Structure 1
Amino acid sequence: MILMAMIYKNRYAAFNLQVHLVFITKYCRKVLSEVHHAYFSECVAEVCKSFDAELKECNGEADHIHMLIQYPPTVQISTLVNNLKSVTSRRMRSNFIDLRAAYSKPVLWSRSYFAGSCGGAPLNIIQQYIQNQQG
């Protein structure tokens, strides 16, 4: 059962959508420090606001970053990812000389990323709920 506090509403929909995103640095280079992570979180929070989304969690290691983002049904994940990657790469490279020096080209992130849906009830509970509906 989904708690009412977790359901978001807009004019036409009620929703509970979260995505787990992982960005990997180009060539898996270990170039990110705690300072980079903190600035990355600020940038992501700003981009999310422009999509009416919200950054719930953000953390990572020297070569990748995990994010948990709550978003409305009007957002395409691929569009959000492209915006997050381009904005964070551009801002971080302009503010941190060490990141500019790490790559010969103006890049920070690998083209690859992970996106996993999450939140709500476990799949087996939802399957049971749907199976038990009367037609």
Structure 2
Amino acid sequence: MVFVTKFRHKVFADRHLTRMEQVMRDVCPHFKAELVEFNGANNHVHLLVNYPPKMAVARLVNSLKGVSSRRLRQEFPDLMRH
């Protein structure tokens, strides 16, 4: 999966990406999924996720994006201006 920032704005620093990986690793077990690999740049992230075939991908994606966005905006107020 590849998640891109809105309008491809260069938003993420290394500290944001490190925390985002931790958040996404915490979310995956709730869906019986495993975050195998995570990588990112200042305007996008790459995820390699192993998930059960009965799991709807849309539910997993919505949760990963929603939870990570909410937590990062709470912990890093500087992201709010983007």
- How would you bin the TM-score normalised by the shorter chain? over 0.9
Distance 2:24 2:54 in 1: 18
Structure 2 regions of 5+ residues with no counterpart? none
Residue matched to 2:13: 33
The one-character-per-residue Cα deviations of 1:106-127 (angstroms, maximum 9, x if unpaired) are xxxxxxxxxxxxxxxxxxxxxx
Amino acid at match of 1:60: G
Amino acid at match of 2:27: V
Residue matched to 2:53: 73
TM-align CA RMSD: 0.7
Residue matched to 1:61: 41
Task: Among all aligned residue pairs of Structure 1 and Structure 2, give the percentage whose two residues are the same amino acid.
Answer: 43
The one-character-per-residue Cα deviations of 1:16-40 (angstroms, maximum 9, x if unpaired) are xxxxx00001111001011111111
Residue matched to 2:69: 89
Between structures 1 and 2, the one with greater strand share? 1
Residue matched to 1:51: 31
- State TM-score, norm by structure 2: 0.95
Amino acid at match of 1:51: F
The one-character-per-residue Cα deviations of 1:52-86 (angstroms, maximum 9, x if unpaired) are 10001101110000000011122111110011111
Between structures 1 and 2, the one with greater helix share? 2
**Number of aligned pairs?**
82
Structure 1 regions of 5+ residues with no counterpart? 1-20, 103-135
Runs of 4 or more above 6 Å deviation? none
Pair 1:99 & 2:76 matched: no
Distance 2:21 2:47 in 1: 9
- State TM-score, norm by structure 1: 0.59
Which structure has the larger Rg over C-alpha atoms?
A: 1
